[in-house]
């Protein structure tokens, strides 16, 4: 892998080219990063770029920036030598044309680089060259290996002998009846291969039991399987004859008092930065940076073939790298603005995904309404929201991440989960899986996400209050027993701020600014309203609880540190655990009136239904951020009455 001849020129051309510290990396800058890193002698023919992205400046640097100020552009790269597994963490300044840090990763204690696309592809060749694996497949009556689809899956860390420090994947397999047949309907269960990616060999084969390979097909793109398409749905068109109400300039979006910057990271996917709301003449900050910092999908089947199934879709697979190119009229409907994404591939070259992020407006029903019995006045206003979204496909699942901004200052994140359930052979009366077809099972599992919300409610001095609804005993001040009230508890240190939702008490958390008061003299704030679904259900002793400790609490609050970006730690792949939020919070820093980050775990438990096969109708989870005392009155009184021709 030698630098392209034009990379040095590209490096010179890109110095200082970005107009803002948070501007997304351009293709020219990716070329420049590659030239700089390779010119420093860090790259061999077997070196791959497992990760390359903008190294964002600190919050203080960004907030101090003024248009026209010089901008230093830095990148971080994780370099993996696929020939020997050596991994280096590199920090380089494009502006100064220098590599500023090179650190070799201890892949035993510090985790492995994210999984490369070429490693997924290599697995097919590796297992099909292994005599033991081929014999195990043949024992199940399968003779045409060209139709077998080995499925490479992250290995995790379970303290198994000889695995620590080894770069591995674990491989379950499926079979297609013919090339266009969807293999998810035909799992080859009871056998799993443990693959060493550096040695390119199967280091352990577990052939546990013979189970039937389900035969029924489930091809969602085959008219003979789907059946006649209904003809009763009339066209539904979204029209904005005067165009949308938003404006976009250099990735900065303004819409109905909202203002924020679009970012995109190969690990986190869509990132929203510097979210603010214009209140009268004041532009008021709310969130400095919002992203999905991690997600984990733990499975419930404890069998020798499947006990290890736990996937970190951000840290292991790079959520953003798997982003879809969206299609107008299918993925997005209406007056759409698209943002393309530029990322580096395994060779360090820029890869552009068109239409990676979709933005549009939606009508959202009634905003507020009142018919007054005394004055006989009738007033109705309609709500609308700005939608910013992207879709990513990680193996069998497809995930849509939808950020919503409402006229009244509310922010929501909704995750839409669809795609294909991971299948197994069904064992009668299994306590770990649902039956979704003849001989076909779908193991129980969870989807758990960590949203990292770098809060900035009216400034940098924020705090978090926990509010619970409280019942009051009858008697005394409550003689008739009808009273109820609420408790308010300030979370003052990180050790106090690892909290669990309590739906029965309507528990919410208020992020407030003790130095900014509303007109009634109370701190302004935003409420984090959780859905309160179950946290990680694995037993306390399970390895996954060490690795995904973030998912054992709905709320964590930490002091801002630019190095603390990821809920499960930096290099998650095959990490033994203990990194991320537990390590951050163990510092027990003050979080009362400080620059804080709020981390929220949310998600769902999936007990698959018959209706989830062969493709899952969208299921959702998420959370809401609502202003509480942030405004001095309803901020939507100035929303005009609808002028739609349908409103008479």
- Distance between CA atoms of residues 288 and 273, nearest Å: 5
CA angle, corner 414, sides to 409 and 419, nearest 5?
A: 160
CA distances 44 to 1, 38, 114, 119, Å, are 6, 8, 19, 17
Task: Point out which residues pair with 360 in neighbouring strands.
Answer: 387
- Distance between CA atoms of residues 596 and 523, nearest Å: 16
At 401, phi and psi to the nearest 5?
-110, 115
HSE, CB side, 13 Å, CA atoms: give it for residue 521. 0
Active site residue 130: no
Q: Which of 28, 157, 265, 313 is catalytic?
A: 313
Helix axes 131-138, 117-128, angle to 10 degrees: 70
- By the 8 A CB rule, do 390 and 324 touch? yes
Q: Which of 397, 399, 402, 449 is catalytic?
A: 397
Tokens 């990063």 sit on residue: 33
> 218: Cβ–Cβ under 8 A, 6 or more apart, which residues?
182, 184, 185, 225, 437, 613, 614
Active site residue 444: no
CA distances 423 to 2, 172, 309, 434, 607, Å, are 43, 10, 12, 10, 12
Strand, helix or coil for residue 95: coil
- Distance between CA atoms of residues 429 and 426, nearest Å: 9
- By the 8 A CB rule, do 536 and 551 touch? yes
Task: Point out which residues pair with 337 in neighbouring strands.
Answer: 359
Residues constituting the chain: 648
- By the 8 A CB rule, do 341 and 353 touch? yes
Q: What sign for the dihedral angle of Cα 581, 583, 588, 591? A: negative
Q: Which of 77, 70, 92, 96 is nearest to 17 (CA)?
A: 70
Q: DSSP letters of 241-291?
A: TT--S-EEETTEEEETTEEEEEEEETTTEEEEEEEEEEETTEEEEEEEEEE
Residue 294: count other Cβ atoms within 10 Å of its Cβ. Answer: 31
Residue 124: count other Cβ atoms within 10 Å of its Cβ. Answer: 17
- By the 8 A CB rule, do 527 and 488 touch? no
- Distance between CA atoms of residues 433 and 439, nearest Å: 12
Tell me the H-state helices in 334-385.
Answer: none
HSE, CB side, 13 Å, CA atoms: give it for residue 91. 9
Q: Which of 163, 47, 43, 48 is nearest to 117 (CA)?
A: 48
- Distance between CA atoms of residues 400 and 529, nearest Å: 20
Residue 484 token pair: 């109820």
Strand, helix or coil for residue 132: helix
Residue 392 token pair: 């990513």
- Distance between CA atoms of residues 309 and 291, nearest Å: 25
DSSP 447: E
Residues that are catalytic: 313, 397
């Amino acid at each position: 892998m030698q630098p392209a001849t034009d990379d040095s020129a590209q490096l010179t051309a890109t110095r200082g080219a970005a107009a803002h510290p948070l501007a997304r990396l351009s293709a020219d800058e990716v070329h420049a990063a590659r030239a700089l890193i390779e010119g420093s002698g860090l790259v061999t023919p077997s070196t791959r770029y497992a990760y390359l992205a903008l190294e964002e400046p600190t919050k203080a640097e960004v907030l101090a920036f003024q248009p026209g100020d010089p901008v230093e552009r830095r990148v971080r790269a994780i370099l993996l030598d696929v020939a020997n597994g050596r991994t280096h963490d590199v920090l380089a300044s494009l502006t100064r044309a220098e590599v500023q840090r090179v650190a070799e990763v201890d892949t035993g204690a510090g985790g492995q680089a994210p999984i490369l696309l070429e490693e997924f592809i290599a697995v097919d060749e590796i297992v099909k060259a292994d005599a033991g694996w081929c014999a195990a497949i043949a024992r199940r009556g399968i003779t045409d290996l060209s139709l077998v689809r080995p499925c490479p899956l992250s290995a995790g860390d379970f303290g198994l002998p000889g695995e620590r420090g080894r770069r591995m994947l674990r491989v379950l397999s499926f079979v297609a009846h013919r090339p266009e047949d969807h293999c998810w309907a035909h799992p080859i269960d009871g056998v799993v291969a443990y693959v060493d990616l550096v040695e390119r060999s199967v280091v352990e084969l577990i052939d546990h039991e013979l189970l039937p390979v389900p035969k029924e097909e489930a091809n969602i793109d085959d008219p003979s399987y789907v059946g006649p398409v209904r003809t009763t749905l009339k066209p539904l068109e979204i029209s904005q004859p005067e165009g949308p109400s938003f404006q976009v300039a250099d990735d900065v979006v303004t819409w109905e008092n909202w203002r924020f910057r679009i970012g995109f990271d190969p690990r986190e996917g869509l990132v929203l930065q510097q979210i603010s709301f214009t209140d009268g003449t004041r532009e008021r900050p709310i969130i400095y940076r919002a992203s999905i910092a991690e997600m984990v999908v733990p499975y419930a089947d404890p069998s020798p073939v499947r006990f290890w199934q736990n996937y970190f879709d951000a840290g292991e697979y790079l959520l953003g790298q798997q982003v879809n190119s969206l299609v107008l009229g299918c993925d997005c409907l209406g007056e759409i603005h698209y943002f393309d994404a530029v990322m580096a591939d395994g060779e360090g070259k820029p890869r552009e995904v068109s239409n990676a992020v979709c933005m549009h407006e939606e009508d959202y029903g009634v905003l507020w309404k009142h018919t007054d019995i005394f004055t006989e006045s009738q007033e109705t206003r309609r709500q609308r929201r700005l939608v910013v979204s992207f879709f990513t496909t990680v193996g069998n699942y497809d995930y849509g991440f939808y950020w919503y901004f409402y006229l009244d200052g509310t922010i929501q994140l909704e995750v839409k989960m669809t795609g294909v359930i991971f299948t197994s052979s069904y064992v009668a009366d299994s306590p770990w899986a649902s039956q979704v077809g003849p001989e076909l099972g779908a193991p129980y599992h969870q989807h758990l996400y960590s949203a990292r919300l770098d809060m900035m409610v009216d400034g940098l001095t924020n705090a978090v209050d926990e509010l619970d609804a409280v019942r009051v005993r009858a008697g005394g001040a409550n003689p008739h027993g009808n009273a109820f009230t609420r408790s308010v508890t300030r979370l003052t240190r990180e050790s106090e701020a690892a909290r669990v939702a309590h739906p029965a008490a309507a528990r919410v958390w208020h992020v407030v600014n003790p130095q900014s008061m509303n007109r009634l003299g109370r701190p302004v704030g935003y409420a984090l309203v959780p859905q309160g679904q179950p946290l990680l259900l694995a037993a306390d002793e399970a390895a996954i609880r060490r690795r995904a400790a973030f998912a054992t609490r709905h709320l964590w609050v930490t002091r801002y540190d630019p190095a603390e970006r990821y809920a499960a730690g930096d290099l998650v792949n095959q990490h033994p655990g203990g990194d991320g939020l537990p390590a951050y919070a163990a510092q027990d820093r003050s979080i009362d009136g400080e620059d804080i980050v709020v981390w929220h775990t949310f998600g769902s438990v999936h007990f698959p239904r018959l209706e989830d096969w062969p493709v899952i109708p969208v299921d959702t989870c998420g959370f809401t951020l609502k202003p509480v005392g942030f405004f001095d009155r309803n901020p939507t009184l100035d929303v005009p009455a609808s002028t739609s021709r349908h409103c008479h």
